[in-house]
Amino acid sequence: MEVITLTQQANVIPLTESLALSASELSQKYKLSFADSIIYATAQQEKVKLITADDHFENLPDVIYFAKKS
């Protein structure tokens, strides 16, 4: 039920052709996996900062990165 509640509060962004093409370009430019590039391209499209602890995004523009504690 908690997941359903969170999902209802979220915006679902469709994977359009233009978003996929943007993700492809970002994948090549920043050496991201295609899944990561879709996440990054979506944040770029929506003009929001990506907040993550995933080190694949560290040092990318418009990313707020929090290192994982060991």
pLDDT, position 6: 75
Burial of 21 (0-12, 13-18, 19+ CB in 10 A): exposed
What average pLDDT score do residues 19-47 get?
Answer: 98
What average pLDDT score do residues 21-39 get?
Answer: 98
pLDDT, position 31: 97
What average pLDDT score do residues 54-65 get?
Answer: 97
Supply φ then ψ for residue 27, to 5 degrees.
-60, -45
Q: Is the pLDDT of residue 7 over 80?
A: no
pLDDT category of residue 8 using cuts at 50, 70 and 90: confident
Residue 13 CB neighbours (<10 A): 13
